[in-house]
Amino acid sequence: MAMIKILVGTVYGSAREVADALEPIFAAKGHQVEISEDPEVSDLSDSRYQAVLISCSTSGSGDFPPNFIPFYRQLDQQRPTLSHLRYGLIALGDSAYDQTFCEAGSKIERLFGQLGANRVGQRLDIDASEHFQASEAALPWAERWLNHFEAERSV
């Protein structure tokens, strides 16, 4: 059993819906999930969590949702070492925003990489122009992500 923290950045609720849809998939494999729309830098070093998942949309012009901005800013200022951290990343966006498609996800991936965090599996970009329901794209990804996560844990 693992405890997985999901940090949500959302304006209209889709990234939260994705997090909610993942919970039963993880529970079916015996894992527990905690979801937060008020992410804290300390979540990344909390030993209760064996992994952190980010589900974050892009807003404005390649910007973060307002609820995610304090977390990102503090992380960028404090720059803690995250070499202990295993994380997964789901970026929500819309390819109609050609130049800034899923830019918030790209920024998170860049910063987490600089801080030494270990990404589990591939990042998922969910295109609102392609998926009316974001969770429809997230569910098959979550199965694959869990397989990677469990395989790495058993090494």
Ligand X SMILES: Cc1cc2nc3c(=O)[nH]c(=O)nc-3n(C[C@H](O)[C@H](O)[C@H](O)COP(=O)(O)O)c2cc1C
Shortest separation between residue 115's beta carbon and ligand X, angstroms:
23
Shortest separation between residue 140's beta carbon and ligand X, angstroms:
18
**Cα(134)–Cα(16) distance, rounded to whole angstroms?**
10
Q: Using the rule CB under 6 A, is 128 a contact of ligand X?
A: yes
Helix H or strand E encompassing 8? strand 3-9
Q: Using the rule CB under 6 A, is 67 a contact of ligand X?
A: no
Distances (CA, A) of 92 to 16, 55, 67: 11, 7, 15
Q: Which two tokens stand for residue 48?
A: 């209760």
Paired with 99 in beta bridges are none
Contacting ligand X (CB under 6 A), which of 15, 53, 75, 82? 15
The CA angle 40-61-115, to the nearest 5 degrees, is 40
Contacting ligand X (CB under 6 A), which of 4, 5, 31, 58? 58
> Which residue number places its CB atom closest to ligand X?
93
Q: Using the rule CB under 6 A, is 60 a contact of ligand X?
A: yes
Paired with 7 in beta bridges are 36, 54
Contacting ligand X (CB under 6 A), which of 93, 117, 138, 149? 93
Closest CA to 5 of 75, 74, 88, 62: 88
Shortest separation between residue 30's beta carbon and ligand X, angstroms:
28
101 CB neighbour count, 10 Å cutoff? 18
For ligand X, the closer of residues 119 and 131 by Cβ is 131
Contacting ligand X (CB under 6 A), which of 4, 6, 10, 53? 10
Site for ligand X in 97-116 (CB under 6 A): 97, 100-103
Interacting residue ranges for ligand X, rule: CB under 6 A: 10-15, 57-62, 65, 92-94, 97, 100-103, 128, 134
